[in-house]
Structure 1
Amino acid sequence: MIHDPNAFITAGKPLEQAGKVMIMVHGRGSSARDILSLSQYIEDDDFAFVAPSASGGTWYPYSFLRPMDENEPYLSSALAVLSGLRARLQSDHNVNPSQLYWLGFSQGACLLSEYVARNAMRYGGVFSLSGGLVGPDGTDRTYGGDFDGTPVFLGCSDRDSHVPKERVLETERVLGGMNAAVTTRLYPNFPHTINEDELKIVNLLIAGSQVQ
């Protein structure tokens, strides 16, 4: 396996005491520690945070818009890491999907978007910041499963250097068609980073509040 399923770090409440768990997925050239630093902005103190680590700091070598086979076997290994983490949280700590939240940035957002689309069920929430579903334009998006009202947030610049807004909007259509409650924000001329409004929306959705 390319990525080590046991390479992850945690923050927040101990897993055995937490009522909610957030899996945080880092971007290319970043680290588990970097994405885990966002946990300080989550206002709910009932969370344990878990951040897996990609081998060599990247989940797959090429753009997420390239044909999927070009990013293999890295992509499948990365998806298996998320699958294994979810299974471990359920078996070792009794974390049900509805207590499980996903947050990723950039390459991590792409990876978790693809993962949840392939494994749709009622999660606590899905927060994809500067990312979208994996694969080139025209990829078959026939996924099984039903999100059963899971709150999903897609935040991105309207002219992101890595993520075309069309892919964010396609992701919105696909996940919404699988019964996710999708909130999308495209920020005018914003750089490829995370902004305060995105973190505010994440906190609103965690709290079960309406996003205006």
Structure 2
Amino acid sequence: MHTKQIIRTGKQTGEATKALVMLHGRGGSAEDILGLTRYLPVKDFALFAPQATNNTWYPYSFLAAPKENEPWLSGALALVKETVADIVAEGIQPENIYFLGFSQGACLTLEFVARNAVRYGGVAAFTGGLIGDKIYDQNYSGDFDGTPIFIGTSDPDPHVPVERVHASAEILNGMNAQVTKKVYKNMGHTISEDEINMVNSIIFSK
């Protein structure tokens, strides 16, 4: 299971009024994903970047049946939940908590917020979708109350079928999120400058 290793940087929670939880991709690291902050207007945020054990949140594709990715998937979701609880305990409410993830981290980000939907500050998912061999609607509950969510992806992408991105956006919209979805032709498995500009405009400018 995942051990609790979280890199905390940015403003101290006593000074910050907003927090950003950043989830790295498969084979990546907390340090890697924190590198994105140089392109984001988050200098006043407390930053939290959990580290996956062995750099992987769950062993198989996010399109595998969830039980195949256990106990790692449940452990990853629990670690994100604990991170959020720590942030709230330090005085930052969910409506001022933001999430950002790339690839496997984007899938984990979307899965977590869909299972725990409330009004958040915003969610940025760079190439990701809800987790499972199919979408398990029964896992998702709550009301996003207008939370802005950005999902960007390539068509095609070697890991994330664009159909799952569309289906995930539909679920999130149905839970009262304000979803902005952008599909880039042949972008590749990366984060583009346009995506950064989009999240800065839609999410971090609020």
What does 1:50-199 correspond to in 2, within 5 Å?
50-91=48-89, 93-137=90-134, 139-142=135-138, 143-199=140-196
Deviations 1:80-129 (A, max 9, x none): 000000011111x1110011000000000001110000000000001111
Gaps of 5+ in 2: none
Q: Which amino acid aligns with 2:143?
A: D
Cα distance in 2 between the residues matched to 1:86 and 1:122: 13
Q: Which amino acid aligns with 1:19?
A: T
TM-score by length of 2: 0.97
Q: Which amino acid aligns with 2:43?
A: D
Q: Which amino acid aligns with 1:126?
A: V
Cα distance in 2 between the residues matched to 1:42 and 1:18: 16
Would you say the 8 A contact 2:19–2:47 is kept in 1? Answer: yes
Q: CA deviation at 1:201?
A: 1.0
Q: Which amino acid aligns with 1:33?
A: E
Q: Which amino acid aligns with 1:64?
A: F
Partner SS state of residue 172, structure 2: helix
Cα distance in 1 between the residues matched to 2:42 and 2:97: 14
Match of 2:3 in 1: 4
Q: CA deviation at 1:52?
A: 0.1
Cα distance in 2 between the residues matched to 1:45 and 1:33: 16
Which residue among 1, 26, 29 is the counterpart of 1:28?
26
Q: CA deviation at 1:151?
A: 0.2
Deviations 1:117-151 (A, max 9, x none): 000000000111110100013x3213210000000
Q: CA deviation at 1:10?
A: 2.1
Q: CA deviation at 1:4?
A: 1.3
Which residue among 11, 22, 25 is the counterpart of 1:13?
11
Q: CA deviation at 1:46?
A: 1.6
Would you say the 8 A contact 1:147–1:180 is kept in 2? Answer: yes
Would you say the 8 A contact 1:39–1:49 is kept in 2? Answer: no
Would you say the 8 A contact 2:13–2:91 is kept in 1? Answer: no
Match of 1:37 in 2: 35
Alpha-carbon RMSD across the aligned residues, in angstroms, is 0.9
Deviations 1:7-45 (A, max 9, x none): 011222122211111000000000000001111111243
Partner SS state of residue 86, structure 1: helix
Cα distance in 1 between the residues matched to 2:59 and 2:43: 35
Gaps of 5+ in 1: none
Cα distance in 2 between the residues matched to 1:9 and 1:20: 16
Partner SS state of residue 110, structure 1: helix
Cα distance in 2 between the residues matched to 1:35 and 1:12: 14
Deviations 1:144-168 (A, max 9, x none): 1000000000001010100000010
